[in-house]
Structure 1
Amino acid sequence: MAKQPLKIKIVVYIAILDGDTLECVSERLAHPRRIEKITVRLSYIDAPEKGRAFGQVSKRSLSDMVYQKQVTLKIYGQDKYNRTLAEVFYNNANINQQMIRLGMAWAYRDFKPSKEYIEFENQAKNSRLGLWSEPNPVEPSKWRKEQKS
């Protein structure tokens, strides 16, 4: 079961780094005239890496959903790279889950996603959507481990 968010923040997307990481800006609550830049790692999903099959397609898909739009972040903390871990919402739609539904990312089991994420992944897989149209897609976490050894 997914843990409860620590806080909710409304931001504007400014840049996509890959299919599961984006940069946003927000006014600082304590200093409204100061802009805060936030690097956001989408919680519970793992998108293909840059240069891998569907890496660019996944990145473009995320950009199509949130480019220059005001989004809401449900923030769960920070990762070891100091990125904000969050679920991203636009018009009440969960963008993280939408990436899974479209076959643009895996449910990231290392971070214990809710059953919904796994169900959406299975639906995309059964429908051969996105990365699931490939014969044997390799999860990014497995690929990263192989690169280290």
Structure 2
Amino acid sequence: MRLLFAFMLLVASPALAAVQEIDGDTIRIDGARVRIWGIDAPERRQTCRIDGVERPIGKEAIEQLHSILAEGELRCRKRDTDRYGRTVAECWAGSQSIADAMVRSGWAWALPRYSQDAYLPAQQEAEQAGRGVSSGRRTCEAPARFRRDHPR
């Protein structure tokens, strides 16, 4: 079980909490949704054709987030609240930025509008190396377009 050290995010003092991956850029901490700041990852039910094969990229992004979270104690710092009322936070697993690791792995896109280009070098590296949604010949739609075209 992964443990969380939250500071000034959801509780006034450090606490141990249950963590669950919702999708590649959202986690649930003791029932509260937290959106990872500065990135956009495939939606849970999103697929993509890569090298002629339809792949469950939403589930693959969740698996990547799960492995990143396993790297160390989770810390989050609140940056904002989104239009849905979710906390938007910068989070780290051990010393590793979760957003940077997700983008660098190719399982999330940088959102420079929000992150002031912080994750663009990681995105360029993932694209050049052909990682995640940048692998092979692909027809992956951006998560924002997927959400627009496939409302729940």
TM-score by length of 2: 0.75
* In structure 2, distance between residues paired with 1:86 and 1:43: 5
* In structure 2, distance between residues paired with 1:97 and 1:68: 14
Partner of 1:24: 29
Q: Secondary structure at the match of 2:79?
A: strand
Q: Secondary structure at the match of 1:126?
A: helix
Q: Larger strand proportion, structure 1 or 2?
A: 1
Q: Secondary structure at the match of 2:43?
A: coil
With 132-141 and 62-71 compared, the bigger mean Cα shift is at: 62-71
Partner of 1:44: 38
Following superposition, the deviation at residue 145 of structure 1 comes to 2.8
Aligned with residue 65 of structure 2, among 49, 62, 65: 62
Kindly indicate whether the alpha-carbon contact (under 8 Å) linking 1:58 and 1:104 is maintained by their aligned counterparts in 2.
yes
With 129-138 and 77-86 compared, the bigger mean Cα shift is at: 129-138
Q: Which residues of structure 1 form unaligned runs of 5+?
A: 1-6, 26-36
Count residues in correspondence.
130
Tell me how large the CA RMSD over aligned residues is.
Answer: 2.3
Q: Deviations over 1:77-100 (max 9, x none)?
A: 211111110111122210111000
Partner of 1:135: 138
Following superposition, the deviation at residue 12 of structure 1 comes to 3.9
Identity in percent: 25
Partner of 2:126: 124
* In structure 2, distance between residues paired with 1:99 and 1:18: 12
Following superposition, the deviation at residue 147 of structure 1 comes to 3.8
Which consecutive aligned stretches of 4+ in structure 1 deviate over 3 angstroms post-superposition? 7-13, 67-70
Q: Which residues of structure 2 form unaligned runs of 5+?
A: 1-6, 48-56
Following superposition, the deviation at residue 8 of structure 1 comes to 4.7
